[in-house]
A and B are shown apart, each in its own frame.
Chain A
Amino acid sequence: MTDQTPVVSIRDVSKVFDLGGNNRLQALANINFDIFPGDFVALLGPSGCGKSTLLRLIGDLISPSSGAVQVNNKPAHQARLDRDYGMVFQQATLYDWRTIYGNVQLPLEVMNYPRDKRMARAREMLKLVQLEEFGRHFPWQLSGGMQQRVAIARALSFEPSLLLMDEPFGALDEMTRERMQMELLSVWGQTNTTVVFVTHSIPEAVFLSSRVVVMSARPGRVTGVIDIDLPRPRSFETRESPRFFQKITEVRECLRRDEVKGASS
């Protein structure tokens, strides 16, 4: 993997939010890591550790206070203008006034794809997330899990090299969540996308990813990067394998080590 050029390269990145007056919040301090093509990286940490902020820095939705974020060998800003990444949020964020087809086509419309190509892509993407019969429905007619699958289809519709996901399954119930994780892996297996996935669930991070970036809060920083070498394809059996529990323990200890350090300082 290391001989490849990274999809995302984060160098000495810090982010300070100016809250007005003398209030400043150091959200991220000195972040360094690389993400390689085909990686599935989970950003894991407690609430307030700046993992969503880091995701937004990669996507150039906000800019770093210092340091540099490179995506596909160019500044994140240029990567955004080049439409190098798709975005999925915790809420599906579908536009109520558009049908499911219309929602999946939205990025393609913004990018001026011709109409027939848009429709073909929308059909293809909905097939990928198992919702091909629901193209003419409106978002409110779909359940939360289905809406989130549409959001994934929308994010992948223009074949971005990078998929940024901000706690995409956080609002779903546990059963739906596990099924969505399987589907995401299946979709990921069928595309050549690199995924950055923000979560605060340890099992979710371990089950999905090839690497877990463990973060801690105040200020947000990386406390460890753990390779998850569980075999793929991962299945329901993966969740019951001893290796899976070992990895969960490893990640948990990494999180805890930092808490202990934080408490003693």
Chain B
Amino acid sequence: MTNVADLTPAVERELLPDRGRPGRLAQRLWRYVPAIALFIMALVVWEVVCDYFKIQTFLLPKPSLIAATFIRELPVISLAGFFTLREAVGGFVLGCTLAIVVALATSRWTIVSEGVMPFAIAVNSTPIVAVAPIMNNWFGITNPVAKMSIVAVIVFFPVMINMVRGLTQVNANSLELMRSCAAGDFTVLVKLRIPNSMPYLFSAFKVSSTLSIIGAVVSEYFGGSRDALGVYISQQAALFHFAEAWAAIIIACIMGIAFYAVLLIIERLVMPWHVSMRAVEN
């Protein structure tokens, strides 16, 4: 019998990453300093240029004016933002749910995949907001469902295509391993294909979160409830109230970032094992 104690891989243990070392937080925050500095500099330059060249407010309002307007209009634009966010998130959930169901079906029955995928790719490359006026006619111009449907259609295809990719692009040895255990199709789906598709799915979610805000706001430009952010922006712009329009754009921006951030947090909770998480930890 070989003395296995001699073989204990002590060296290998030293190679293990050191988790949760202190002092990392300060280091990480320090990394954001250049970005913040650049942002403040840009605002200062903007302000100075507007003053110096006497740029008129209806062309480009000064940051200080936008900020003041933002605070003054906050009760109105935050409500409008909330209204639009509801459309975006509703459409997002609807579109993603459908996309996941269809993706699972395509992975189960190849005939579905062969029938659906060419159309999916074709529709994915057409500008879907272009159908907004039609949706407005179908569901009624003030009905949030009209906007949700547009958002749902926009997010459907990237999510579905990515999910199908994740379900099918499985490591050959991983499949052989399943086969060697005589695992059935359903087991392979649950234990291999679905977990394998998670990184693909979340990258599609993140892209779709911004797409869904864009989709909701832009489709409101074609008309919608007076409570909506897109309607507010287009009306204020039509009245040359550009500071108000900019303030509303800031709200849209905050919504987009918040949506993205929420998905990022969910991703970290769902996939603590994923490659993209390692960089954060190391």
Contacts and interface: CB of A to CB of B under 8 A. Distances in A.
A93 B1 CA distance: 29
A61 B180 contact: yes
A107 B274 contact: no
B137 interface: no
B12 A97 contact: no
Interface stretch (A7-15, A39-47, A139-147, A254-262): A139-147
Given A87-B177, A95-B192, A96-B274, A110 B1 contact: no
Contact of B278 (A106, A140, A164): A140
A1 interface: no
A200 interface: no
Contacts of A182: 2, 4, 7
Contacts of A137: 16
Interface in B1-59: 1-2, 4, 7-9, 12, 15-17
Contact of A111 (B4, B181, B278): B181
A71 B195 CA distance: 33
A231 B275 CA distance: 46
A96 B8 contact: no
A61 B179 contact: yes
Contact of B181 (A95, A110, A143, A189): A110
A146 B180 contact: no
Interface in A174-217: 179, 182-183, 185-186, 189
B274 A110 contact: no
B198 interface: yes
Interface string B196-222: 001000000000000000000000000
Contacts of B239: none
A229 interface: no
A96 B273 contact: yes
Given A80-B179, A87-B177, A183-B4, A143 B274 contact: no
A93 B191 contact: no
A145 B2 contact: no
A99 to B, nearest CB: 8
B233 to A, nearest CB: 42
Nearest to A160: B180
A97 B180 contact: no
A89 B177 CA distance: 9
Nearest to A77: B182
B190 to A, nearest CB: 10
B12 A86 contact: no
A216 B248 CA distance: 74
A109 B191 contact: yes
12 contacts: A82-B182, A83-B182, A89-B173, A93-B174, A97-B271, A106-B191, A109-B191, A110-B187, A111-B181, A141-B16, A183-B4, A183-B7
Interface of A: 56, 59, 61, 80-83, 85-87, 89, 91, 93, 95-98, 106-107, 109-111, 130, 137-143, 145-146, 158, 164, 179, 182-183, 185-186, 189, 233-235
Interface of B: 1-2, 4, 7-9, 12, 15-17, 171, 173-174, 176-183, 187, 191-192, 195, 198, 271-275, 278
Given A89-B173, A93-B174, 10 more contacts: A56-B176, A98-B273, A110-B181, A130-B9, A138-B273, A142-B12, A146-B9, A182-B2, A185-B2, A233-B1
